[in-house]
Amino acid sequence: MLLNQLYPFFDVSKTFDEIDRFFGTANRPSRFRKVPQGAFPTINVYDHEDETVVVAEIPGIDPDVLEVTVLRDTVTLKGKRPNGAEEDQRVHRRERGTGTFSRTLTLPDAVNPDTVQARYENGILRVTLEKAAEAKAKKIAVQS
């Protein structure tokens, strides 16, 4: 990279680290670096002892057009966001995305596809997936 040749100490990721340090956000997951550009919906995954919870931010859709499929340890979210502006409307600013989306996510553990629960509320999809029997942690009694 030319910039590196001109300024050997110029390093974008280091600069971001410095910014994080300055604002006290170091070691926190960050919105603008982890997410590939345009990835929609943004997804967080939370681990519980017996279940995995996938939380996706999908504002402004009809839950009927949302499709959630589970295969072993992958979850796929598919859907379409309405096109938005009507004909008699002039658009001054458009930051919200529209159109179809599809994202597939690999979970840390295999899940039981029969007990998956999905709930859409306030623009957030929350999928609760029970871990498959073989993925659940088992306590082993120690004999003495």
Partner 1 sequence: MTTQELTQRCSNQGTRTEEEHTHYYQPATDVRETDEEVLLLLDMPGVSNDHIDLVVEKGTLTVTGQTDPEEQGEPVYRETRVGDYRRTFSLSDDVDTDHISAEMKAGVLTVRIPKPEKAKPRRIEIARA
Binding site for partner 1 (CB under 8 A): 28-31, 34-35, 39, 42-48, 52-53, 55, 57-62, 84-85, 88-97, 105, 108, 120, 122-124, 126
Least CB distance to partner 1 at residue 13 (A):
18
Least separation in angstroms between CB 133 and partner 1: 20
Give 82's contacts (C-beta < 8 A, 6+ positions apart): 60, 61, 62, 98
Q: How far is the CB of 3 from partner 1 (least distance, A)?
A: 28
Closest CB to partner 1 among residues 92, 139: 92
Query: Taking Cα atoms as reference points, which of 40, 44, 87 lies closest to residue 59?
Result: 40
Judged by beta carbon, residue 13 or residue 89, the one nearer partner 1 is 89
- To partner 1, the closest distance from the beta carbon of 4 in angstroms equals 29
CA angle 6, 11, 16 (to 5 degrees): 145
Could you give the 3-state DSSP secondary structure of residue 33? helix
Contacts of 7 (CB under 8 A, 6+ apart): none
| Closer residue to partner 1 (CB): 96 or 139 | 96
CA–CA separation, 63 vs 135, rounded Å? 30
Q: Which amino acid is at 131?
A: K
d(CA 43, CA 41): 6
Residue 52 or 118 with smaller CB distance to partner 1: 52
Least distance to partner 1 from the beta carbon of 37, Å?
12
Nearer to partner 1, 78 or 126 (CB): 126
